[in-house]
A and B are shown apart, each in its own frame.
Chain A
Amino acid sequence: GAVVSQHPSRVICKSGTSVKIECRSLDFQATTMFWYRQFPKKSLMLMATSNEGSKATYEQGVEKDKFLINHASLTLSTLTVTSAHPEDSSFYICSARPLGQDTGELFFGEGSRLTVL
């Protein structure tokens, strides 16, 4: 099956620093990738839709200047949390939809746990 890899799986950083999370589709191309955030024992929340070669579409309430998304190729999307603060500590997960697949099935990365001290 299709594989989506996220890196890093865990990251701890100091408040005020920026953190980049990568989402790669390993064996397929994806024009669209989704970024989610999940707080402990809470629902997975869609943050933004990443579109290859164009600007990401952000969900209401998500700061685009805070969460920078770059989808520079058909196999890589990155999420950068800028000037991270403790309230940004969360579990971030991406998913990708294979190019040309009509079913719309999404494949999820393993997730990245961010802890901001």
Chain B
Amino acid sequence: GQNIDQPTEMTATEGAIVQINCTYQTSGFNGLFWYQQHAGEAPTFLSYNVLDGLEEKGRFSSFLSRSKGYSYLLLKELQMKDSASYLCAAVDSNYQLIWGAGTKLIIKP
């Protein structure tokens, strides 16, 4: 079956760095998305990886290892506004999104 695993909740300190991991098992693979969702709002796109390696975008970076079925989202210089849920979603061979349950990130002062 197809499956996405990511931690349910993580806590980090303002100004620090946090890494949110995601492992996936899909029928075929056409990339992986990370989304951020603040409470009460629709998710917003953060990153898309389809090739192995690290994609850096400002304070956020996303890494993919296709051979390991593994991705992570790295958030640097954490700010209070980064408190949100982070959704990992893999794209299967039919271009359907397989969603993780999301990781709730709590930032403490």
Binds A, one of B14-22, B54-62, B63-71, B90-98: B90-98
Where chain B touches its partner, the secondary structure class is loop
- Number of B residues near A (Cβ < 8 Å) is 24
- Output the nearest chain A residue to B31 by Cβ-Cβ distance: A41
Q: What are the residues of chain A within 8 A of B31 when measuring CB–CB?
A: 41
Q: Does A84 sit within 8 A of B, measured CB to CB?
A: no
Interface residues on A, range: 20 to 34
Please judge, given known A-B contacts A43-B45, A91-B97, whether A105 and B91 are in contact too, CB under 8 Å: no
Q: What are the residues of chain A within 8 A of B48 when measuring CB–CB?
A: 41-43
Give the residue of B39, B45, B50, B99 whose beta carbon is less than 8 angstroms from that of A104. Answer: B39
Is A40 a contact of B85 with CB atoms below 8 Å?
no
Q: What would be 6 A-B contacts, judged by CB atoms less than 8 Å apart?
A: A36-B42, A40-B30, A41-B48, A41-B50, A44-B45, A44-B97
Chain B contacts to A: CB under 8 angstroms: 30-31, 33, 35, 37-43, 45, 48, 50, 85, 89, 91, 94-97, 99, 101-102
